[in-house]
Amino acid sequence: MNFSCYECGKEYPIETFNFRCECGGPFKLNSLPKSLPLLSLKERPASIWRYRESLPVMDDKNFVTLGEGFTPLVPFPYAEGYRNIKTIYN
C-alpha cells in the first residue's frame, strides 16, 4: 500500500507524513480494496474502523477512536431552496 500524487504520479511510502506531494498535488491511496465485506460490516463496531480495509492503517494496534461515527443525518428544511438544492441534511 502506498500513496501517489494525482498531479505528477510520484509515489510515496505509506509511512509518509506529508499531506501533499512536493509538486503541491494531493495524494491518492493506492491498493484500495475493490469491495468491502458487506455481511461482516454489520457485525463491526459503529465507528470509522468499520471500514478499516479502506484506510491507510497497516496494523490494528494503531486504531484510535473517540467514539465517533454514525452521526445521524436529519432534514434541514429551512435551507431548502438555497441555491436550488432540493434537500439539505445537517
Predicted structure pTM score: 0.48
Please tell me what DSSP assigns to residue 76. Answer: -
Residues 39-81 have pLDDT tens digits of 788 888 888 888 887 777 778 888 888 877 777 777 777 776 6
pLDDT-above-90 percentage for the chain: 17
Give the model's confidence band at 23: pLDDT under 50 very low, under 70 low, under 90 confident, else very high: very high
Domain edges within the chain? 1-31, 35-90
Residues whose CB is less than 8 angstroms from the CB of residue 37 and which lie 6 or more positions away in sequence, other chains included? 53
Please tell me what DSSP assigns to residue 13. Answer: E
Count of CB atoms situated within 10 Å of the CB of 3: 21
